[in-house]
């Protein structure tokens, strides 16, 4: 009954070791259904508010003069691949998020970009549409606003990043601390202290745990990521791994340069520590 389900959801959501971490024990079918139903309800609630916003813009006569971008920072695992929540892994249910852009002057209605794109390019798209050039050095990859803007892809220009996108899951320290207390065996068994990363190129996606290759998927033919192709295509694994290492080295160099210039304030660092992202 509803009271029974509500009691389960309250207990489940009240324990981060259950809703934001690996599954320590299988859930019953009715429990999985309840979690899915509550998540669907949350999506419907958000959809309602997006509709209210768009309706208000339309009534005010500003809808066609407003840049609307709908996206997400991550998805959510519901037991897929043995994990709940949105931490620790880079499977599709976490990193494949919606990206909808509405701006009639520059984005034709119904146009779809089929290549892989990173949500970080939302930043460049907004700057491009506002005709703003960030104060970055010319050799900074992020300085190419027009090239990284999604407007370029819509206009049929070759994609600057060649359909390549990256994903990374850094273990949240607050959850790790909880798991080491409640389920210490899972931490070592599932390599939860390791950073997980992924690289997409065209239809292929390579996932790594630390520096160890985990799996290779064809996400176009196998969106549920059930068939590991790494043994069958070692040449694809090697090529994607090289690209990923190059990207990580480049990003790390930029990060260290930014930190040395004091680009990250003490307040930001304190907030990151409070959220469990830094020690």
Q: What is the CATH number of the domain that holds 42?
A: 3.40.720.10
Is residue 129 domain-resident?
Answer: no
Q: How long, in residues, is the chain?
A: 279
Is residue 136 domain-resident?
Answer: no
Is residue 150 domain-resident?
Answer: no
Rounded Cα–Cα distance for residues 182 and 176 (Å): 10
Helices (H), the chain: 2-13, 16-19, 29-59, 92-95, 121-130, 145-148, 150-154, 173-182, 184-189, 234-260, 266-274
Is residue 138 domain-resident?
Answer: no
Rounded Cα–Cα distance for residues 234 and 247 (Å): 20
Is residue 83 domain-resident?
Answer: yes
Is residue 131 domain-resident?
Answer: no
Is residue 265 domain-resident?
Answer: yes
- Alpha-carbon torsion (46, 37, 218, 88), positive or negative: positive
Domain residues for 25? 2-118+161-274
Rounded to two decimals, the pTM is 0.83
Count of domains forming the chain: 1
pLDDT in tens, 164-191: 899 999 999 888 898 898 889 889 999 9
pLDDT in tens, 49-108: 999 999 999 999 999 999 999 999 999 999 889 899 899 999 999 999 999 999 998 888
Is residue 18 domain-resident?
Answer: yes
Rounded Cα–Cα distance for residues 265 and 186 (Å): 35
- Three-class DSSP category at 255: helix
């Amino acid at each position: 009954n509803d009271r029974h389900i509500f009691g389960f959801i309250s207990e489940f959501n009240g324990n981060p070791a259950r809703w934001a971490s690996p599954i320590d024990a299988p859930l019953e079918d009715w429990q999985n259904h309840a979690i899915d139903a509550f998540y669907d309800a949350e999506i419907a609630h958000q959809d309602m508010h997006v509709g209210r916003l768009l309706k208000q813009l339309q009534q005010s006569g500003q809808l066609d003069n407003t840049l609307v971008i709908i996206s997400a920072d991550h998805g959510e695992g519901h037991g897929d691949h043995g994990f709940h929540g949105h931490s620790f892994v880079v499977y599709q249910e976490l990193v494949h998020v919606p990206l909808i852009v509405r701006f009639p002057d520059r984005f034709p209605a119904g146009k779809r970009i089929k290549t892989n794109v990173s949500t970080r390019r939302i930043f460049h798209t907004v700057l491009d549409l506002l005709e703003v050039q960030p104060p970055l050095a010319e050799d900074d990859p992020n300085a190419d606003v027009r090239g990284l803007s999604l407007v370029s892809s819509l206009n049929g220009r070759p994609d600057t990043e060649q359909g390549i996108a990256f994903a990374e899951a850094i273990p949240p320290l607050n959850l790790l601390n909880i798991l080491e207390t409640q389920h210490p065996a899972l931490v070592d068994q599932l390599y939860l202290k390791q950073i997980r990363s992924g690289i997409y190129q065209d239809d292929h996606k390579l996932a790594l745990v630390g520096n160890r290759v985990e799996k290779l998927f064809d996400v176009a033919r196998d969106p549920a990521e059930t068939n590991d192709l790494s043994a069958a295509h070692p040449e694809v694994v090697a090529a994607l791994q090289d690209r990923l290492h190059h990207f990580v080295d480049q990003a790390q160099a930029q990060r260290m340069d930014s930190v040395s210039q004091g680009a990250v304030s003490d307040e930001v660092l304190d907030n990151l520590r409070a959220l469990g992202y830094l020690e």
